[in-house]
């Protein structure tokens, strides 16, 4: 099965939002197949530097192939939640002019059956961003009880039939473990009583399990908690999210950092103590009609931008 080329979502908008300084230091926290990274490198001068981070071995290999041709690129094999440690080791903490996070799963991951991210083709039920570490979706479903499975489906997939699906999983594995994407997708299709228009009934279940297996929301929270200490004055944070759970975390983080610390009423504080560390830049942006038509996966993308205050 051929894998469709990855199309970076909101490419021009996100790189433009970074306001690239040709001599600056930038971070692509989710390299993928390098669409955003190449666009940033094209705007950097000879003294500029880009640090690319990814935990997917295929993405890391693609990044290292690019780095072999461009000495301005440094590659770090790591989850982006470890952003602080990666930039500390690179010696650039507090000196970064821009951080880009393109969240979610890439087209090569979705379109490669052996990775187990999609119900569109049969493959092992894996879903790990880094198949060499952690627990696969199949392994987690084999040991989690119905209550835990239902909780994950409700919380990470907003699946209203989570309890019904969880009970069906536990009943099915008593006879035979769920080892493939098709087995899980077929099970969900059998037990979900109603279907959302234009959506496979297993869409929310697969999203939820992927988030659980990769601790995606935890990685996002850890990365965001570090960015204000990593960015230089006027450095930009640019985040592209693909579902409401991610976007809600990003929106609240930027809003809270723009507002500043909340002190008890009447407590004497200075203006410096009460001001925020970020300012919001522009309004959230979404892909235009032409991009959605060319790349339907961009339909749910939301771009948010914030700038570090001195």
> What is the average pLDDT across 5-23?
90
Is residue 137 one of the residues assigned to a domain? Answer: yes
pLDDT digits (tens, 9 = 90+) for 231-281: 999 999 999 999 999 999 999 999 999 997 665 655 555 555 557 999 999
pLDDT of residue 132: 94
Does the annotation flag 36 for ligand binding? yes
Q: Quote the longest CA-to-CA distance of the chain.
A: 65
Is residue 60 one of the residues assigned to a domain? Answer: yes
Task: Note whether 101 and 238 are within 8 A (CB).
Answer: yes
Give the tokens for residue 276: 């925020």
Does residue 89 carry a pLDDT above 70?
yes
Is residue 114 one of the residues assigned to a domain? Answer: no
> What is the average pLDDT across 65-71?
98
pTM > 0.85: yes or no: yes
3-state class of 105 per DSSP?
Answer: coil
Per-residue confidence band for 195, with pLDDT thresholds at 50, 70 and 90: confident
pLDDT digits (tens, 9 = 90+) for 90-131: 999 999 999 999 998 888 898 899 999 999 999 999 999 999
Is residue 142 one of the residues assigned to a domain? Answer: yes
Does the annotation flag 198 for ligand binding? no
In degrees to the nearest 10, what's the CA dihedral of 5, 10, 60, 217?
A: -120
Same domain assignment for residues 185 and 269: no
Same domain assignment for residues 95 and 224: yes
CA–CA gap between residue 286 and residue 288 (Å, rounded) = 6
Does the annotation flag 102 for ligand binding? yes
Same domain assignment for residues 179 and 267: no
CA–CA gap between residue 113 and residue 161 (Å, rounded) = 26
Does the annotation flag 104 for ligand binding? no
Same domain assignment for residues 47 and 100: yes
Per-residue confidence band for 197, with pLDDT thresholds at 50, 70 and 90: confident
> What is the average pLDDT across 286-300?
91
Same domain assignment for residues 265 and 229: yes
> What is the average pLDDT across 213-225?
97
What is the count of structural domains for the chain? 2
Structural domain boundaries enclosing 124: 119-214
Is residue 113 one of the residues assigned to a domain? Answer: no
Is residue 6 one of the residues assigned to a domain? Answer: no
Same domain assignment for residues 99 and 239: yes
pLDDT digits (tens, 9 = 90+) for 140-152: 999 999 999 999 9
Does the annotation flag 232 for ligand binding? no
Does the annotation flag 286 for ligand binding? no
CATH code, 157: 1.10.150.170
Does the annotation flag 80 for ligand binding? yes
Is residue 83 one of the residues assigned to a domain? Answer: yes
CA–CA gap between residue 28 and residue 40 (Å, rounded) = 9
Per-residue confidence band for 3, with pLDDT thresholds at 50, 70 and 90: very low
- % of the chain exceeding 90 in pLDDT: 85
Instruction: Kindly report the average pLDDT of the chain as a whole number.
Output: 93
Give the tokens for residue 57: 């071995």
């Amino acid at each position: 099965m051929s894998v469709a080329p990855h199309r970076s979502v909101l490419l021009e908008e996100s790189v433009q939002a970074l306001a690239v300084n040709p001599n600056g230091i930038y971070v692509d926290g989710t390299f993928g197949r390098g669409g955003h990274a190449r666009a940033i490198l094209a705007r950097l001068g000879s003294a500029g530097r880009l640090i690319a981070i990814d935990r997917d071995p295929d993405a890391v290999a693609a990044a290292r192939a690019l780095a072999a041709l461009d000495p301005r690129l440094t590659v770090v094999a790591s989850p982006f939640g470890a952003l602080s440690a990666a930039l500390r080791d690179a010696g650039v903490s507090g000196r970064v002019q821009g951080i880009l996070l393109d969240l979610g799963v890439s087209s090569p991951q979705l379109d490669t059956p052996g990775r187990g991210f999609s119900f569109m083709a049969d493959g092992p039920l894996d879903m790990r961003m880094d198949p060499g570490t952690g627990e696969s979706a199949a392994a987690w479903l084999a040991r989690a009880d119905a209550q835990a499975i239902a909780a994950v489906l409700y919380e990470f997939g907003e699946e209203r039939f989570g309890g019904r699906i969880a009970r069906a999983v536990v009943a099915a594995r008593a006879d035979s473990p769920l080892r493939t994407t098709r087995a899980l997708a077929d099970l969900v299709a059998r037990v979900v009583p109603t279907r959302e228009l234009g959506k496979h009934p297993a869409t929310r279940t697969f999203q939820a399990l992927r988030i659980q297996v990769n601790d995606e929301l935890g990685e996002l929270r850890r990365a965001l908690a570090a960015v204000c200490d990593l960015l230089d004055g006027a450095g930009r944070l640019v985040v592209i999210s693909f579902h409401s759970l991610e976007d809600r975390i990003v929106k609240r983080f930027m809003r809270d950092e723009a507002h500043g610390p909340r002190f008890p009423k009447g407590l004497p504080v200075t203006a410096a103590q009460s001001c925020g560390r970020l300012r919001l830049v522009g309004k959230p942006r979404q892909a235009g009609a032409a991009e959605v038509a060319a790349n339907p996966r961009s339909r749910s993308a939301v771009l948010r931008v914030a700038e570090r205050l001195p």
